[in-house]
Structure 1
Amino acid sequence: MNPSGRQSAGIDGRVAARTEPMFNQVLPAHPRAVRKVLHDIRRRFSGEVSEDTLGRLELVLAEVMNNVAEHSRGPACDAGTVVGLSIHVSIVRHVSGLCCAITDNGISLPPDCLIPRNPPPPVRSALPEGGWGWYIIHDLTQALCYYREGQRNYLAFNLPFGDDVLRH
């Protein structure tokens, strides 16, 4: 492994995969744990990706992980946490963006969440509480895919860099 965390040439002279470790963490499905992991992600990628990219990543991951924490059901609850419900998040930086995978052992994602949609209609008196999450997720990501295998949900997407990407 290249200690500098940069790309290294393989035996045949081609550039090998980046040697930086991916971000990988398992957390309980609880809003406090989600906030902590978002802070850890920001700290991990700060200086490697732009503030714009970090902000978009944080917004998408907050929507996804808070949806798991809020809407998944389990056998018993303890102070707002579904006992045994966990989220596993992995993020890898690549040449054109961040590749993200989130898995959880909650209930299945409703199929209509994956249908691209228009933004919810504005409400003159106040912004609506719900309805924006999946619109935001679809709008800010590429290659969004979901499947369920056994008792686990798998969600993956790419978050492209903007024009303000930091070059290393």
Structure 2
Amino acid sequence: MNSIDRQKADPGKFAACKAWPLFHRVLTANPFAIREALSDVRNRFTKSANPDTIGRLELVLAEVLNNVAEHAVPRHGNLPAKDVPTIHLSIVRTERGFVCAVADDGISLPDKCLQPHSLPKTENSGLSESGFGWFLIQDLTQTLCYYREEQKNYLAFSVPLTQSA
């Protein structure tokens, strides 16, 4: 929005946006940094939405960030990971919910992750790790989009204030 657009904008809407500043963190893709970022998200937004919405936001972010930590690192056989990715996490609280953007410099997200997922079937062994994360991400978000540009991954989505049935 340029300065001319701001002058024409409804001052109430601009003031509302100003009341919910941008949350931004830069972190390494490791479990300790992710846990700290999730705690910061909860502390920042816990009073701006109901506990159910904050729980859904936290769950989606945990799935996305942990996927980066677990899968966006190039591995060479049994050798350790090379160059742990850096994650940029941005969140804005809007009238409708939370708009989130996650960028990382890890390897590309496989195409199958963004294909529609249904709840994976489990065998007698109980819950498997495979497939539940992207099912949850797709189920709990709206406007999920991904692209890769100049060796970076960009994922954006929104978490609405109310969960649709």
**TM-score, scaled to structure 2:** 0.84
Q: Which structure's residues are more often helix, by fraction? A: 2
The equivalent of 2:65 in structure 1 is 65
- Correspondence 1:17-28 to 2 at 5 A: 17=14, 18-19=17-18, 20-28=20-28
The percentage of counterpart residues that share the same residue type is 49
Residues 29, 82 of structure 1: 8 Å contact kept: no
Residues 28, 81 of structure 1: 8 Å contact kept: no
- Worse-superposed segment, 10-19 or 109-118: 10-19
Distance in 1, Cα, partners of 2:84 & 2:137? 26
Residues 30, 81 of structure 1: 8 Å contact kept: no
Match for 1:90: what amino acid?
S
Match for 1:86: what amino acid?
T
Q: How many residues align?
A: 151
Shift of 1:123: 2.3
The equivalent of 1:49 in structure 2 is 49
Alignment gaps of 5+ in structure 1: 1-9, 164-168
Shift of 1:41: 0.2
Shift of 1:83: 3.1
Residues 75, 83 of structure 1: 8 Å contact kept: no
Shift of 1:131: 1.5
Distance in 1, Cα, partners of 2:75 & 2:132? 28
Residues 85, 105 of structure 2: 8 Å contact kept: yes
Residues 73, 84 of structure 2: 8 Å contact kept: no
The equivalent of 1:37 in structure 2 is 37
Shift of 1:81: 7.0
SS at match of 1:33: helix
Distance in 1, Cα, partners of 2:7 & 2:118? 49
- Correspondence 1:139-150 to 2 at 5 A: 139-150=139-150
Distance in 2, Cα, partners of 1:108 & 1:11? 41
Residues 27, 34 of structure 2: 8 Å contact kept: yes
Residues 119-157 of structure 1: CA deviation (Å, up to 9, x unaligned)? 100223311122200000000000000000011000000
The equivalent of 1:3 in structure 2 is none
Shift of 1:50: 1.0
The equivalent of 1:91 in structure 2 is 91
The equivalent of 1:7 in structure 2 is none
The equivalent of 1:118 in structure 2 is 118
Residues 69, 81 of structure 1: 8 Å contact kept: no
Distance in 2, Cα, partners of 1:68 & 1:128? 19
Residues 48-102 of structure 1: CA deviation (Å, up to 9, x unaligned)? 11110110011101111001001122489xxx87535110000001111100000
SS at match of 1:58: helix
